[in-house]
Structure 1
Amino acid sequence: MNRIALMTLAVVSGLTLTACNPLETQPVGNSSVPQPAKSVKLSRYVGKWYEQGRYEASFQKGCEGVTADYATKPDGSLSVVNSCRQGGLNGPLKTAEASARVVDGSNGSKLKVTFFWPIESDYWVLDRADDYSWSMVGEPSGKFLWILTRAQKIDTRQYEALTNRARAMGYDKQLLRRTQQ
């Protein structure tokens, strides 16, 4: 029995180190991440989102045409399917599936996302449009930021307005990488 417990601990520790390693090398783009500005109604948040910009992360290296699809599950949690085209818009499709749950007391604006059990990642909807046409997603370390829209393509003016909004929340615009859609 002790041997099984030790093996389980070793596997979980290995997964934790593997999952957390990208966080250690990620630059901090906001040393004072704000709390989410608005509550989120999951019934309005579900559906397809298109990534317009992000802080580059090792798990998204070379990804273009990035999307995130959220759907409500019968137990009230969410299913998450992240997709991207590796190496360019015509590259091979890569997908990652996860589940997410709302953090109690967060008015729907904070989620815990699980790609590999038992490791959960923070997902904060920092700000969003009143009509849910865009959202800014981050987490407490300030190392990750995603700019998402419902529209697949937005013009330079719209992108600039969203990046300026991120800057107003304390994010370093120089770390943002525009995603091809």
Structure 2
Amino acid sequence: MIACITISGCIVGTQGRPKNSPPPVTVPSVDLQRYGGTWYEIARYPNSFQKKCEGVTAHYEVRADGRVGVTNTCAHGTSSGKPRAVKGIASVIAGSNNAKLAVNFTPIPLPKGQGNYWVLYLDSAYQTALVGGPNGDYLWLLARTPKITPAQRTALNDAALQNGYRIDLLKDTIQP
């Protein structure tokens, strides 16, 4: 969900799921309090708004109004490059048990619809997560630590494949 960090426009060049495939399947529910905190980006589909971003993190915080505050940060060029951050607000899509969110980063409003941030995999300890856009334009592998084990990566990749996402399009994120 690392959206619009460079605010160069949210034009996407990746189509990671066939257009005629069924919608991806989200996790049954997400405890937003447990999901809150900092996540490290392990890999992503390349996109225009994260161009030259490394050392990427996302921080989520449940707000008093029930929405989720989002702060995405990246280092420009290398994992030790100049940091850049963007703030947004996520609203839960009704009936999704917190597994689908509509995330908006000003000044680029996004339509509410089905949401643009779907939690597709979340391990029981809330240590790794797979998040994607339902149309296949976006996919992120996230973890609570900057590095993950091969078994964790396999679980994330398997969840992506089961939902029809192409893992060959993933770009690994360099973390410090």
Amino acid at match of 1:49: W
Contact 1:38–1:127 (8 Å) recurs in 2: no
Q: Secondary structure at 2:95's aligned position in 1?
A: coil
Distance 1:80 1:152 in 2: 19
Q: Which residue of 2 aligns with 1:7?
A: none
Structure 2 residue 80 is matched with structure 1 residue 80: no
Which residues in structure 2 correspond to 1:41-56 (within 5 Å)?
41-56=31-46
TM-score, scaled to structure 1:
0.82
Q: Which residue of 2 aligns with 1:173?
A: 167
Q: Secondary structure at 1:119's aligned position in 2?
A: coil
Indicate which of 69, 84, 88 corresponds to 1:94: 84
Q: Which residue of 2 aligns with 1:15?
A: none
Task: Report the Cα offset of residue 118 of structure 1.
Answer: 6.7
Structure 2 residue 129 is matched with structure 1 residue 113: no
Task: Report the Cα offset of residue 165 of structure 1.
Answer: 2.8
Contact 2:130–2:141 (8 Å) recurs in 1: yes
Structure 2 residue 19 is matched with structure 1 residue 29: no
Count matched residues: 161
Structure 2 residue 155 is matched with structure 1 residue 143: no
Contact 2:99–2:119 (8 Å) recurs in 1: yes
TM-score, scaled to structure 2:
0.84
Indicate which of 57, 69, 76 corresponds to 1:67: 57
Alpha carbons of structure 1 residues 103 and 161: separation in structure 2 relative to 1, 3 Å:
closer
Task: Report the Cα offset of residue 169 of structure 1.
Answer: 2.1
Task: Report the Cα offset of residue 27 of structure 1.
Answer: 2.3
Contact 2:9–2:49 (8 Å) recurs in 1: no
Q: Relative to structure 2, which stretch is displaced further, 147-156 or 161-170?
A: 161-170
Indicate which of 119, 127, 131 corresponds to 1:125: 119
Q: Secondary structure at 2:110's aligned position in 1?
A: strand
Structure 2 residue 156 is matched with structure 1 residue 162: yes
User: Highest Rg: 1 or 2?
Assistant: 1
Task: Report the Cα offset of residue 156 of structure 1.
Answer: 4.2
Q: Relative to structure 2, which stretch is displaced further, 163-172 or 112-121?
A: 112-121
More helix by share: 1
The percentage of aligned residue pairs carrying the same residue is 42
Contact 1:38–1:126 (8 Å) recurs in 2: no
Alpha carbons of structure 1 residues 160 and 78: separation in structure 2 relative to 1, 3 Å:
same
Structure 1 residue runs of 4 or more that deviate by more than 3 Å after TM superposition: 155-158
Q: Secondary structure at 1:158's aligned position in 2?
A: helix
Gaps of 5+ in 2: 1-7
